[in-house]
Amino acid sequence: MTQELNNTDVWLRWMADFYSRNGMEGANVRLLSTVSVVVLVLIAAWLLYLILSKLGQPAVRLFVARTPVKWDDDLLNDRLLNSVSALLVVILLSATLPSALAAYPLMGNIADVMCRVLIVVAAATVISRLLSSVFVVCENHTTLRVSSLKGLFLMAQIAFWGCAVILIIATLAHRNPMIIISGLGASAAVLMLVFRDSILGVVAGVQLTFNDMLRPGDWISMPSHGINGIVTEVLLTTVKVQNFDMTTVTIPPYTLVSESFQNWRGMSESGGRRIMRSFNIDINSIRRLTGAELAPLLDEPWAKGIAEDAPTANITLFRRYLKSYIDGYAFARPADNMFVMVRELQPTPQGLPLEIYLFTTATDWVGYEAIQADLTDHILSEMGRFHLRVFQSPTGHDLVSLAPQNQR
């Protein structure tokens, strides 16, 4: 009995008998029977959508709201549930509407084709929104975040919609989809030219993902393209970077793969950022200190073990002092593998470069620059105690001071 009720031909015969008993004849019976059954099918589809939207979707939302996990709230969102309801309604129409038009074969074939097209579109919409929901779930859970996640989901959505277009064309043309797919091979060169950036972006996005080269939130710098800021979005064909001057730069992903860029993520994750500064010491100021000059320095803790009559150069004492000062600095050496060093570089015509090499726990830009400036200020201010001078090219003021006084 259930099978008979699901067959609209039964309803057509029942309607035809009903109108025949009431005095209808011929074509009028067939027309009225068909219209009546079509109206019943549309009412049934509307009732199904009403039940799903008013009862089914609230029940699903209530269920996911009571679960202890939060990812299902993002996965089973309203947009996805609406598309699933629409798909079920289209399936019902596809199963009943062509049969309701059995008395009119042409209209029945048209309805059958349109229903199959609607099923493909509705199914593709469900898959697309499901992928979008999965993307939201992955973005909201940091353990699932990868570099070009959005680009990969866009690529998958494009692939599904491409398949949907092929199925729609095959349905409308009454052809095997494989014939259409094989025909695309002849136009592959044209497609590669049209979608060149998209193809290169997809390949580069896969490389960025599997090599873990880039993630949203990374600080990258690429001076050749004016990039120095935070990655905000990795799309299929573009990577968006917000520079520290609040400008936004977009760059193709394949440029990041084919050229060199600097990613500061390792620095942020390690908890230490390097400070490397050199100061050019005037070579003429390097000498051995006299006893009177050395005595005040020997009272300091860092000078323990230095004999008062030892022939020690002031640059040596200054290096020892800086090493002790940096070792005791609160922000230096965040980990054992991040060493501290004060060294002399190759002498140059501009003097002897004295370089400090250390790491600080302040990885943010403002804190890092403040600590670096404090160290620079301290080093420059302490050189005089060791009778050292910083090399500086003569300025206009120096030349004026050396010039003879104009005599009247």
pLDDT tens-digit readout, 248-282: 998 888 888 888 888 888 887 777 888 899 999 99
- Mean pLDDT within 193-215: 72
What range defines the domain where residue 324 resides? 273-386
**Final residue in a domain of this structure, among 144, 163, 183:** 144
Residues 251 and 165: beta-carbon distance below 8 Å: no
SS3 272: coil
Q: Is the whole model's pTM more than 0.75, yes or no?
A: no
* 75 within some domain: yes
- Mean pLDDT within 213-237: 84
* 261 within some domain: no
* 263 within some domain: no
* 318 within some domain: yes
Count helices and strands in the chain by DSSP H and E runs: 17, 8
Sheet containing 227-234, strands listed edge to edge, beginning at the edge strand earlier in sequence:
248-251, 239-243, 227-234, 219-222, 262-263
Amino acid at 153: F
Spatial neighbors of 333 by CB under 8 A, at least 6 apart, are 272, 327, 339, 340, 358, 359
Q: Is 339 left (phi over 0), alpha (psi -120 to 50) or beta?
A: beta
**Final residue in a domain of this structure, among 144, 179, 201:** 144
CATH code, 333? 3.30.70
- Encoding tokens for residue 8? 């609209």
Residue of 330 and 370 predicted with greater confidence: 370
Residues 284 and 239: beta-carbon distance below 8 Å: no
* 358 within some domain: yes
Residue of 399 and 40 predicted with greater confidence: 40
* 178 within some domain: no
Q: How many CB atoms lie within 10 A of CB 342?
A: 20
SS3 384: helix
Burial of 195 (0-12, 13-18, 19+ CB in 10 A): middle
Q: How many domains does the chain have?
A: 2
Residues 146 and 215: beta-carbon distance below 8 Å: yes
**Long-range contacts of range 46-52, CB-CB < 8 Å, 24 or more positions apart?**
48/88, 48/89, 48/92, 49/85, 49/86, 49/89, 52/84, 52/85, 52/88, 52/89
* 164 within some domain: no
Q: What is the pLDDT of residue 382?
A: 92
**Confidence tier at 406 by pLDDT (50, 70, 90):** very low
Query: Average per-residue pLDDT in the chain?
Result: 78
**Residue 90: HSE in the Cβ half-sphere, 13 Å Cα cutoff:** 21
The total number of residues shown for the chain amounts to 408
**Final residue in a domain of this structure, among 144, 172, 195:** 144
141 pLDDT above the threshold of 80: no
- Mean pLDDT within 121-140: 80
**Confidence tier at 333 by pLDDT (50, 70, 90):** low
- Encoding tokens for residue 32? 């009225």
Q: What is the pLDDT of residue 403?
A: 67
* 381 within some domain: yes
Task: Note the pLDDT tens digit of each residue in 292-316.
Answer: 888 888 888 888 877 777 668 899 9
**Confidence tier at 407 by pLDDT (50, 70, 90):** very low
Q: What is the 3-state secondary structure (H, E, C) of 22-67?
A: CCCCCHHHHHHHHHHHHHHHHHHHHHHHHHHHHHHHHHHHHHHHHC
Spatial neighbors of 272 by CB under 8 A, at least 6 apart, are 333, 334, 335, 338, 359, 360, 361, 363
User: What proportion of the chain, given as a percentage, has pLDDT over 90?
Assistant: 13
What is the C-alpha separation between 211 and 174, in angstroms, rounded?
Answer: 45
